[in-house]
Structure 1
Amino acid sequence: MAKYYATIAGLPNIGVDDRKLPIQTDALQAELRQELTKRDRRLLDLLLMEQEIPQILETINAWLSDDSIHWEDDPSEIELEPKEPLETIDAQELADYIIAVQQRTKRPRTKHLPDFIKEYIEMRLPDPELEEELEEE
């Protein structure tokens, strides 16, 4: 992790009694992104993702429960679009990963999709081998 002494020292002072903050969140994020290393920007994105998690999960659940999607089709023919734009992750990367999991093919390399999202997708899908075992019993 880089040392950001000058960046932190340059931030405005915020007091408990302040009614109006001297810097807006968007402006602070923009300023931080200019100073942060690539790795640290990714950590900032993970922190900001917390606010978007409900929307991401809603998008995943909607796609997985949509009966109009034919998962056995050619992946290039499957179109997945979120209802609302996702800010902290790439929607196409998310869609490609879900399609690969659904089709039981090799998972694509992902740059911006956190492991916990991948694990959630994997967990949401039924395991065909386990289902066969349950049917046999």
Structure 2
Amino acid sequence: MAGALPNLSSLVGVGIRASDEERERMARSLRRHFAAGRLSAEELEERLQCAYAARSRAELARLTVDLPSDRRVRRLLWMHRVQRRTLRYHAAAYVSANGTLVGIWALTGEHGFWPAGVLAPWTVMLAWHAVGSVAVRRALRAAGEAGPRRARLP
């Protein structure tokens, strides 16, 4: 039973232990810095070995102390995922609701286009949402994380 307990005197000052997921996150961060040209291949290999061997969060933090923080990029990536998902939902709701209203208008044969009262403001809101989504994508591209540009139709 006594052999099962760790030597507590050796753990003093170690700090909070790092998880496998935290080590993987650090490895991804180091690879992004390598791709951005901030690390050489040798530095990347050395830091990756240290990352996978790290026992505490403090040891992981020391690996990027001389590199710029990528918290902004992570926040932008999260915002981009949320924006894309909610824009899809917004567009689907727009098409289904306004399509239904225009269909009802067409079936009733009314002369005044009454669905415009809903269609116009909702179109403005959807366009505003799309502009916000494009702004997040541009910020990611400026940070070098958005990948290649989409091909535009001629």
* TM-score normalised by structure 2 residue count: 0.28
Larger Rg: 2
* TM-score normalised by structure 1 residue count: 0.30
Q: Which has the higher contact order (CA 8 A, sep 6+)?
A: 2
Higher helix share: 2
